Amino acid sequence: MESKLVKPADGKLGVLCVGLGAVSTTFIVGTLMCRKGMGLPGGSITQMAKIRVGRGQEKQYKKIGEIVPLADLKDLEIGAWDIFTDTAYESALHAEVLKPHDIEPVKDELQKIVPMTAAFDPTYVSRLHGSHVKTAGSRWELAEQLREDIRRFKAEHNCSRIVVIWAASTEKYIPYDETVHKSLADLEAAMKADDREHISPSMCYAYAAIAEGAPFVMGAPNLCIDIPAMWEFADKQNVPLAGKDFKTGQTLMKTVLAPMLRTRCLGLAGWFSTNILGNRDGEVLDAPENFKTKEVSKLSVIDTILDKDEQPDLYSDIFHKVRINYYPPRGDNKEGWDNLDIFGWMGREYGMQIKIDFLCRDSILAAPLMLDLVLCADLAARAGRKGIQTWMSFYLKSPMHDYTRGIAPVHDLFQQYVMFKNAIREMGGYEADEEID
């Protein structure tokens, strides 16, 4: 059996977070605490899960780090960009996600994480106003400044590799435009022409990361790396991409419940979802143009799981509605409420309901996803993988896929986990022995 060569995780891995808010600081504090043996990496597949490798008498269950060479937490050097000047320590206290007794033991390390000036355009996030931002004559100049930030951080912290991950706010919705987003040449021309309508700040971060040979992970539903121009660039630079939108609360539940309905051949008449959220993300999503970006991401989930063409009697007429409401008293403690109207034996006349009230903590669920996505993106780069990493869809709400070739995304959480495990097995030199039905 031929195994895929994975380069060892030698040296330091620089992790550059776009945004130093609640999600990033929860990830940073938790990572620093865990590497001191003072925290539990709960929710992190790379740190806690075991995967079967081999069959029959050769069968073994191993942690992922025992199968493939993951970067060690002690080798992570973390930096960030943000529109505010607060250090990671100040930002973590301000976010009020983690309690002071979990922040203070790593105070010294957190105070050293001082954000770089951000690439920011208030027309893309109208509810936020920060002054710690870059000035540039064009989107191209902005990307060049970000490239310089990456190079400087890498040199100053003696990093052998860099991963860039977006954990900032959701940008306003922009549709795919074939004249700008289809080819790398058109994208670069638009950046040089300072086309602010079609080139978002997040695209500048992604372009800069790819140009510097750094894997880029998109943790929001922005139109960014899910365009052919970025795939072309990633292929040219041999850089892995993963996205988009961290799969945390409500959508996580959808990727579990929808497969249950399909497996039991139960019909779905309607699915109503609403959220209340009081953190900075909730404030941003209170703006209709930003909510539109999130809505498209959330609405796409069940369509590929509950296929109306495969089962028209059960799924041809689903009414699916999603709402997000900004409610400051909750802070980071998000509530996701779902109502499902389902039917089965003898049809819709004998309808039933499922109601779910998920009282979750947004950043507590997102932080381990950030850790895993960073480690997996770095692993993919060392394994010589480039472009869209579909095996990382397990962590993402709106998985990237090559829609230009008619490829549909996989949303079913359990099928995504099979894809994830098979990729780990392959990179570890084992047989990818599970199939997706």
pLDDT at 268: 98
pLDDT at 423: 98
pLDDT at 1: 32
pLDDT at 4: 55
Domains with residue ranges and CATH for the chain: 12-246+364-427 (3.40.50.720), 250-360 (3.30.360.10)
pLDDT at 298: 66
pLDDT at 2: 36
pLDDT at 434: 94
CA–CA distance, 410 with 401 (Å, rounded to integer): 9
Alpha helices, DSSP H only, in 96-199? 100-103, 107-111, 139-156, 178-181, 184-192
pLDDT at 287: 75
Contact 325, 276 (CB under 8 A): yes
pLDDT at 297: 66
Amino acid at 205: Y
Contact 4, 153 (CB under 8 A): no
CA–CA distance, 344 with 66 (Å, rounded to integer): 45
Contact 27, 366 (CB under 8 A): yes
CA–CA distance, 378 with 215 (Å, rounded to integer): 7
pLDDT at 279: 78
pLDDT at 330: 85
Residues 6 or more apart in contact with residue 345 via CB below 8 angstroms: none
pLDDT at 286: 73
Q: Read off the pLDDT of residues 385-435 as tens digits, 9 standing for 90 and up.
A: 999 999 999 999 999 999 999 999 999 999 999 999 999 999 999 999 999
Measured CA distances, 145 to 148, 214, 241 (Å): 5, 15, 21
CA–CA distance, 203 with 108 (Å, rounded to integer): 33
Amino acid at 291: F
| Closest by CA position to 365, among listed 279, 296, 291 | 279
Strand order across the beta sheet in which 319-326 lies: 319-326, 267-277, 333-344, 347-361
Query: Tokens 């021309």 belong to which residue?
Result: 189
Measured CA distances, 234 to 139, 211, 425 (Å): 19, 8, 24
Which pTM value belongs to this model? 0.94
pLDDT at 304: 87
| Closest by CA position to 104, among listed 157, 38, 42, 22 | 38
pLDDT at 238: 98
Contact 253, 272 (CB under 8 A): no
Alpha helices, DSSP H only, in 157-311? 178-181, 184-192, 201-211, 228-237, 250-263, 280-285, 288-299, 301-305
Measured CA distances, 200 to 176, 229, 257 (Å): 12, 14, 34
3-state secondary structure of 324: strand
Q: Which mean pLDDT values do the consecutive 10-residue runs of the chain (437 residues) have?
A: 72 98 97 96 98 94 97 98 98 96 98 98 92 97 98 98 96 95 98 98 98 98 96 98 93 93 97 87 75 70 91 96 89 90 97 95 96 98 98 96 92 96 97 90
pLDDT at 308: 93
| Beta-sheet pairing, 50-53 with 240-243 | unpaired
